[in-house]
Amino acid sequence: MVRSPDVPKNDPREVAAQVQAAVLKGESEVLADDVSHHCKAALSGPVEALSVVLTVHGGQFTTVSQVSTA
């Protein structure tokens, strides 16, 4: 977790709870947010179909605005 950029972030307590639950289930991966879920889903298709649109403001990354498989 990082302080910057100034965008909505996951609650670290929620992420820690997700990690703990995954460890107890013997899982090897935790997808803690919607962007991670979309990226993971997109990996099952051809790499040419992947696209991530990043918004940059003042030279700094500010948000992921879209992840698609189209």
* pLDDT bracket for residue 23 (50, 70, 90): very high
Q: Could you give the 3-state DSSP secondary structure of residue 60?
A: strand
69 token code pair: 């498989």
Can you tell me the distance from the alpha carbon of 54 to that of 14, in angstroms, rounded to the nearest whole number?
25
Going 13 to 57 to 60 to 44, the CA torsion angle's sign is positive
- In this predicted model, which residue has the larger pLDDT, 8 or 27? 27
Q: What confidence score (pLDDT) does residue 64 get?
A: 52
For 42-62, write each residue's pLDDT tens digit: 787 776 666 666 666 555 555
> Is the CB of residue 45 less than 8 Å from the CB of residue 39?
no
Q: What confidence score (pLDDT) does residue 69 get?
A: 47
> Amino acid letter at 12?
P
Determine what percent of the chain is predicted with pLDDT higher than 90.
Answer: 24
Q: What confidence score (pLDDT) does residue 19 get?
A: 94
